[in-house]
Amino acid sequence: MRRIRIGVLASGGGTNLQAIIDACERGEIDGDVVVVISNVPEAYALERARTHRIPAFAFPHKGLTREDHEKDVIGCLAQHQVDLVVLAGYLRMMTPLFIDKYAGRIMNTHPALLPSFGGKDMHGLKVHQAVLDYGCKVSGCTIHFVTAEVDGGQIILQKSVPVLEDDTAETLQERILKEEHKLFPRAIQLFAQGKLKIEGRRVRILET
């Protein structure tokens, strides 16, 4: 079976990127990260890529329309013949230009159990603080396909994490991130194995 070619988009430190690279190198994913792209030139994710000899590119978005910026990113992904696009802490909302190009081939992670605590401006510590403020007893993470609706794509995998009485946004984030680092590679491997089938709002995980 041909190994899939993965392109990762990240805006920050890239801990999920590192988890995916490590899983590929351990043989847990039938694929390889072939390019890493950031909209932030100083993003540490780019350094992580270079450490593993993975091509890394920065495409700053300031001064460009969303579409013009995405054309640069799409061109780079096409040059590296990417099969699956992974958003790993990429803090840009995608336009229809990008989503239509890679429909059914874009994955994202969200640090809560969607559809709760998702949507525009809900990222990072804001999500965890909102969970705590609401008094939730359980939170977690969600791996989903990307559609035009922010955090509204079909859910692939979810993992619940208990909210502890003395949790802060930071401690909850830390525990959920550990689960993200396991769940994201699992979802990518299911894609690599051809086991994910989108049926309307649902993603069916095929046995064969």
Catalytic residue annotation: 110
Q: What angle do CA 122, 123, 125 make, to 5 degrees?
A: 110
* 163 SS3 class: coil
Q: Select from 51, 73, 49 the least CA-distant residue to 61.
A: 73
Computed over its alpha carbons, how large is the radius of gyration of the chain? 16
Q: Residue 70: how many CB atoms within 10 A of its CB? A: 21
Q: Select from 80, 82, 37, 83 the least CA-distant residue to 60.
A: 37
Q: Residue holding tokens 């769940």? A: 183
Quick one: DSSP state of residue 105?
-
Q: Detail the DSSP E strand segments found in 1-150.
A: 4-9, 31-38, 56-58, 84-87, 106-110, 138-145
Burial class (CB in 10 A: 0-12, 13-18, 19+), 41: exposed
